[in-house]
Amino acid sequence: MARILAKKNSLTQKNIIKLRKHLDFYREELASLEGKYDEKLDKKLNEFLIKGNRKIAKLAFEACNKEQYAEAEFEAKLQKYDVRSYMKQRKLNHGIAKKIFKKASKGEPFGYLLVSRDKKMRALDKKRAKYIERLEKQKARFLEKNSLTFVVPYNRKKAALENEYFALKAKLEAEYTAKLYKEKSKIQDKIIKNEKKLSKAKHKIKATHTLPDDVLLEVKGLKMYFGGLKAVDDLSFNVKKGEIFGLIGPNGAGKTTVFNCITRFYNATGGDMYFENKYGEVVDLRSFKVHDIILQGIGRTFQNIELVKEVSVMENLLVASTRSYKTGFWGHVFATPSLKKEDKMLRAKAMRILRFMGLESYAGWYAMGLPYGILKKVEIARALMADAKLIIMDEPAAGLNDSETAELTETIRKIRDEFGVTILLVEHDMGLVMNVCDTVCAISFGQMLGIGTTEEIQKNEAVQEAYLGVSEEE
């Protein structure tokens, strides 16, 4: 009955998917509008400042070096004076020496000549001191005078520039806030419109099943037969919200088959799977195609890493958001501005996720040469990129060494706490399972052996027999 209803409503479902895509886009756009004009404002103000500073730079140059200039002039004048006074002294000494020579040759006394020379020398020294005083006065006057001619216009112009700057800033801010408000209200109108449409479309689809409040995924009587082989036979379990659910079992127990049934890679032979999707509605997973599962909020990682090796880590994340692009094929062909806008938004989102995962520095790297542990993390980041509510991990610790496994354990806990995702994992590494899982479900040959906390499972005799017992002997 449920399936028939779902088929009937498939058109409405498509419409709902489209509306939701639009809504997601608008919400993201609204969020991205927050700092949209800050950069522009900064750029414009910066440009203004640079232009103004260029104009007054010459004035600033002279104002800065005024004192140096006065000092240099003082020194130069003093030097000039000293050179002149030296010549005078030389002349004086020369003349007196001549006179002394004459007197001495005639045999007359010449002591008074020496006294008068000393007197004249002292007078010259006094004159020099006076000159220095005069020069200093001149310097002071120069500095005072120049403060009027150079510094004041500079200060005045700088003040004017600052005033202009603040006026421009106020003007631009007012302009941009008005613009921002207009754009925001436009988008909000669109959001309201779309929400109305969405609620109308939702009314058409009747809820066929309800889940308890704390349950995210309900698997009921799942059967998967490959011809005569019963890979999964009548398996039922519930995955609670926000828990880390481990699925264990010996090789060939059908764990991966269960995963492939949930993600619709296999069409289950029988049974029901109900899931509370990322919009809070309970949906029947069997009514979706493989490539529509991700829109409901189920992301998965693979046992052998399945990344696109010839593009960068960033583009690998963008692969996961292929379905969230609002722009259609023709937009892609002509590289329209709206596509570029969306690309920018999604790249920012991908960068946020990479930063959270500690992979920021690898964003531009090709996926080809990166170590295994990092690629595993990139796969988890890719699942997060699609806003997954439930992440299904197929043997996340396969091929990792001990330290990488420990890091992965931490990462798994971290994404559960931070993004509020539920994690469903298949794992052979018992250390990881017992360490990280809240609930463990053990299966063997497609049938359930036991379900419970890790301790309960460890004590479970059937599980010990089938699985742990063997490993103890080893």
Partner 1 sequence: MKKYLNKNYALLGKTPPKDERFTKVARALFFNPIGHYILFGVLCYVVAYLATNKIIPDLIPYSLQSSLAISFSFAIASIGFCLLMGYSGLASLGTGGFIGIGSYSVHYVMYQAELPLPVAIVAALLVAALIGVVVGFISLRIEGIYLVILTLGLSEILRNVYMVVEDKIKVKNFELFGTLIKKQHSLYIVATLLVVVMIITHNIINSPTGRAMLAMKNSTAAAQAMGISLIKYRLLAFVICTMYAALSGVMIMITIRSIQASNASGYYALITSLNILAAVIIGGFKSIWGAVFGSFVMYGMQTAILQDIPFFAENPEFITFISGALVIIVVMFFPGGLAQLILELKAKVKVWYKKIKEGIYGKDLG
Which residues contact partner 1 (rule: CB under 8 A)? Answer: 46-47, 49-50, 53-54, 57-58, 60-61, 263, 265, 289-295, 299-300, 302, 306-311, 315, 318-323, 325, 329, 331-335, 339, 382, 386
22/128 with CB nearer partner 1: 22
Q: HSE, CB side, 13 Å, CA atoms: give it for residue 13.
A: 19
C-alpha to C-alpha distance for 356 and 360, rounded to whole angstroms: 8
**Of residues 51 and 91, the one with the C-beta less far from partner 1:** 51
Residue 163: count other Cβ atoms within 10 Å of its Cβ: 10
| Lookup: tokens for 418 | 């931070």
CB 356 within 8 A of CB 340: no
Nearest-approach distance from CB 182 to partner 1, in angstroms: 28
Return the number of the residue (38 or 306) whose C-beta is nearest partner 1: 306
Q: How far is CA 466 from CA 3, 25, 143, 232, 473, in A?
A: 37, 49, 98, 16, 12
> 299 vs 396, which CB is nearer to partner 1?
299
Measured from the CB of residue 317, what is the shortest distance to partner 1 in angstroms?
10
In the complex, the smallest distance separating the C-beta of residue 189 from partner 1, rounded to whole angstroms, is 27
State in angstroms the smallest separation of the CB of 154 from partner 1. 12
How near is the Cβ of 127 to partner 1 at its closest, in Å? Answer: 42
Longest dimension (CA), the chain: 152
| C-alpha to C-alpha distances, 465 to 23, 140, 245, 460, nearest whole angstrom | 52, 103, 22, 9
Shorter beta-carbon distance to partner 1: residue 112 or 329: 329
Contact criterion met (CB below 8 Å) for 291 and 299:
no
The candidate with the shortest Cα–Cα distance to 357, out of 317, 403, 307, 311, is: 317
* Closest distance of CB 436 from partner 1, Å: 22
Beta-carbon contacts of 389 under 8 Å, excluding residues fewer than 6 positions away, are 216, 276, 277, 278, 297, 298, 420, 421, 422
Cβ at position 129, least distance to partner 1 in Å:
39
- Closest to partner 1 by CB, 141 vs 332, is 332
Give the shortest CB-384-to-partner 1 separation in angstroms. Answer: 12
Cα–Cα dist 377/301, whole Å: 10
Smallest gap from residue 333 Cβ to partner 1 (A) = 5
Backbone angles phi, psi at 327, to 5 degrees: -70, 140
C-beta closer to partner 1: residue 239 or 318: 318
Nearer to partner 1, 24 or 315 (CB): 315
Q: Which is nearer to partner 1, 239 or 314 (CB)?
A: 314
For partner 1, the closer CB: 167 or 290: 290
* Residue length of the chain: 474
The structure tokens listed for 3 are 């399936």
- Write the single-letter amino acid at 346: L
Q: How far is the CB of 56 from partner 1 (least distance, A)?
A: 9
Q: What is the distance, to the nearest Å, from the Cα of residue 359 to the centroid of all Cα atoms in its chain?
A: 11
